[in-house]
């Protein structure tokens, strides 16, 4: 059947494109910390130590690396305020706002996944 074949071809092609898109996304968002870090900035700018606390035991070296990486990819902006002792603030860029929906879905999924795991372990 022509229709069926076309449909199969169509879904095959779009499926491959989708797989590629997800791989593209993961390429920049990989690792344990990037998404949680971006999320933690979504309520407003934060300082280094505060991010560290919010993420729960990330070492300063790793955090520093992640921040640098995110800065290079324009997800995060580093701002230095000339206060009494200088204050360094990390802030989301408009571009990282484009991740809001991804983070929202991931958060929701994480919440229900934890519940499922809890239920199973009883």
Partner DNA sequence: GATACCGGTTTCCTTTAGGATAGTGCCCAA
Partner DNA sequence: TTGGGCACTATCCTAAAGGAAACCGGTATC
78 lies in the site for DNA, by CB under 7 A? yes
Which two tokens mark 103? 């983070």
Q: Parallel, antiparallel, or unpaired for β 87-92 and 76-81?
A: antiparallel
Residue range at the interface with DNA (CB under 7 A); choices 8-16, 24-32, 102-110, 114-122: 24-32
> What are the contacts of 94-100 at 24+ separation with CB within 8 A?
96/38, 96/41, 96/70, 99/29, 99/35, 99/38, 99/75, 100/42
* Contacts of 40 by beta carbon, 8 Å cutoff, 6+ apart: 46, 51, 54, 55
DSSP, collapsed to helix, strand or coil, labels residue 76 as: strand
Query: Is residue 32 a contact residue for DNA (CB under 7 A)?
Result: yes
Stretch that binds a copy of itself, among 49-57, 62-70, 76-84, 85-93 (CB under 8 A): 49-57
Answer for which of 11, 64, 65, 87 binds a copy of itself (CB under 8 A) is: 11
Check: CB of residue 58 under 8 Å from CB of residue 69: no
Q: Min. distance of Cβ 47 from a copy of itself in angstroms?
A: 14
Question: Which span sits near DNA by CB under 7 A: 10-18, 41-49, 96-104, 109-117?
Answer: 41-49
Q: 77 near 91, Cβ under 8 Å?
A: yes
Residues in touch with a copy of itself (CB under 8 A): 11-12, 15-16, 18-26, 28, 30, 32, 35-36, 39-40, 42-43, 54-56, 95, 98-99, 101-114, 116
- What residues line the site for DNA (CB under 7 A)? 30-33, 47-50, 57-62, 64, 78, 84-88
């Amino acid at each position: 059947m022509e229709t069926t074949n076309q449909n199969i071809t169509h879904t095959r092609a779009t499926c491959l494109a989708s797989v590629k898109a997800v791989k593209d996304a993961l390429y920049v968002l990989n690792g344990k910390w990037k998404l949680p870090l971006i999320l933690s900035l979504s309520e407003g700018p934060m300082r280094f130590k505060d991010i560290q606390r919010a993420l729960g035991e990330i070492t300063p070296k790793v955090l520093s690396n992640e921040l640098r990486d995110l800065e290079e990819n324009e997800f995060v902006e580093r701002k230095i305020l000339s206060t009494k002792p200088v204050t360094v603030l990390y802030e989301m860029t408009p571009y990282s706002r484009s991740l809001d929906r991804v983070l929202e879905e991931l958060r929701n999924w994480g919440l229900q996944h934890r519940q499922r795991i809890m239920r199973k372990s009883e």
